[in-house]
Amino acid sequence: MSCVGVEILLIDSLLCYPIKVVIMQEEQTVLSKLGEAVKSFDEEAAVEAAKEALKIEMDPLEAIEKGLTKGMREVGDLYERGEVFIPHLVAAAEAMSSAIEVFEPEILARKAKRKVLGKVVIGTVAGDIHDIGKNLVSCLLTAAGFEVHDVGKDVSTEKFIEKAKEVEADVIGASTLMTVTAPEQKELADAIAKSGLKAKLVYIVGGAAVTPQWAEEIKAVYAPDANSAVKAIKGLLETRK
């Protein structure tokens, strides 16, 4: 290559460099906005930041991982230190979920797939309308990097199984607060075995009515609290890899 050619390449490179710097700065600003919106429990701000990310043509998966998920993890850390509480976790998760909804069409258009630690279907069993504990586990799992499909409360065994098959779940989590609905966890355990899913996923149970002995009896993993549930799921899925 001639000296003139080299000089042209250098000039082109120098001209492009300021543009790249500006783009990177814009992206960092948006990532910061996404994270701060989650940490401040501001659903509206999270949605606006997501729209801004798409406007500057950011990779939506990068925006989720480096912006939303990062913010959610920080909220999870604050919870573990006792600096925020369950309502804060729920509000942060709602802000994150609303922003992800903005990104979903672009993710599908790009046929991109978010890298997650695993897919979890979680809910409160049929007959039980309590969901605070279940919501907390959902929040912490989301913060930890899992794809969480919360099927809600008073959920039938059939709905758990149907959703697990639909999303190809790695984990089913079933909660119950009341002793009278604990047998629903056993029914779900039996359904998992009959459906052929037992070898493919982890079944974990928790809630005030659940004991280690009960979990052992129905051949499920026991989680006494939300943090234990996340650690158990992480460990078991790592073992299966």
Tell me the per-residue pLDDT of 161-193, one tens digit each, with 9 for 90 and over: 999 999 999 999 999 999 999 999 999 999 999
Cα distance between residue 38 and residue 160, in whole Å: 29
**What is the pairing mode between strands 119-125 and 147-155?**
parallel
With beta carbons less than 8 A apart as the criterion, state whether 176 and 128 touch: yes
The predicted structure's pLDDT at residue 18 = 55
Residues 69, 71, 75, 77, CA torsion sign:
positive
Same domain, 37 and 132: no
Q: Which of 140, 147, 148 is nearest to 225 (CA)?
A: 140
Same domain, 125 and 49: no
Same domain, 102 and 167: no
- In this prediction, what percent of the chain has a pLDDT beyond 90? 67
- Among 81, 110, 139, residue at a domain's last position: 110
235: left (phi over 0), alpha (psi -120 to 50) or beta: alpha
- Among 110, 129, 145, residue at a domain's last position: 110
Same domain, 98 and 149: no
pLDDT at 114 over 80: no
The predicted structure's pLDDT at residue 2 = 47
The predicted structure's pLDDT at residue 21 = 55
| b (16+ CB within 10 A) / e for 113-139 | eeebbbbbbbbbbbbbebbebbbbbbb
Cα distance between residue 197 and residue 11, in whole Å: 60
Same domain, 97 and 160: no
Contacts for 67 with CB less than 8 Å, ≥ 6 apart: 30, 31, 32, 33, 34, 35, 49, 53
Tally of domains in the chain: 2
The predicted structure's pLDDT at residue 66 = 92
Same domain, 72 and 125: no
pLDDT at 199 over 50: yes
Same domain, 54 and 123: no
The predicted structure's pLDDT at residue 22 = 56
Give the residue numbers spanning the domain of 171.
Answer: 119-240
Tell me the per-residue pLDDT of 29-58, one tens digit each, with 9 for 90 and over: 999 999 999 999 999 999 999 999 999 999
Same domain, 189 and 162: yes
Cα distance between residue 169 and residue 171, in whole Å: 5
Same domain, 36 and 103: yes
Q: What is the CATH number of the domain that holds 33?
A: 1.10.1240.10
Same domain, 126 and 232: yes
Residue type, 193: A
- Among 61, 80, 110, residue at a domain's last position: 110
3-state secondary structure 184-213: HHHHHHHHHHHHCCCCCCEEEEECCCCCHH
Same domain, 128 and 230: yes
The predicted structure's pLDDT at residue 4 = 45
Angle at 143 between CA 138 and CA 147, to 5 degrees: 60
With beta carbons less than 8 A apart as the criterion, state whether 148 and 90 touch: no
Q: What's the whole-number mean pLDDT along residues 15-34?
A: 76
Report CA-CA distances (Å) from 41 to 34, 62, 69, 133, 238. 11, 21, 13, 19, 31
Could you give the strand order of the β-sheet that contains 119-125, starting from the edge strand earlier in sequence? 147-155, 119-125, 171-175, 202-206, 221-222
Q: What is the CATH number of the domain that holds 191?
A: 3.40.50.280
The predicted structure's pLDDT at residue 105 = 92
Same domain, 53 and 146: no
pLDDT at 11 over 70: no
pLDDT at 210 over 50: yes
Tell me the per-residue pLDDT of 48-106, one tens digit each, with 9 for 90 and over: 999 999 999 999 989 998 999 899 889 988 988 899 988 898 899 889 989 999 998 99
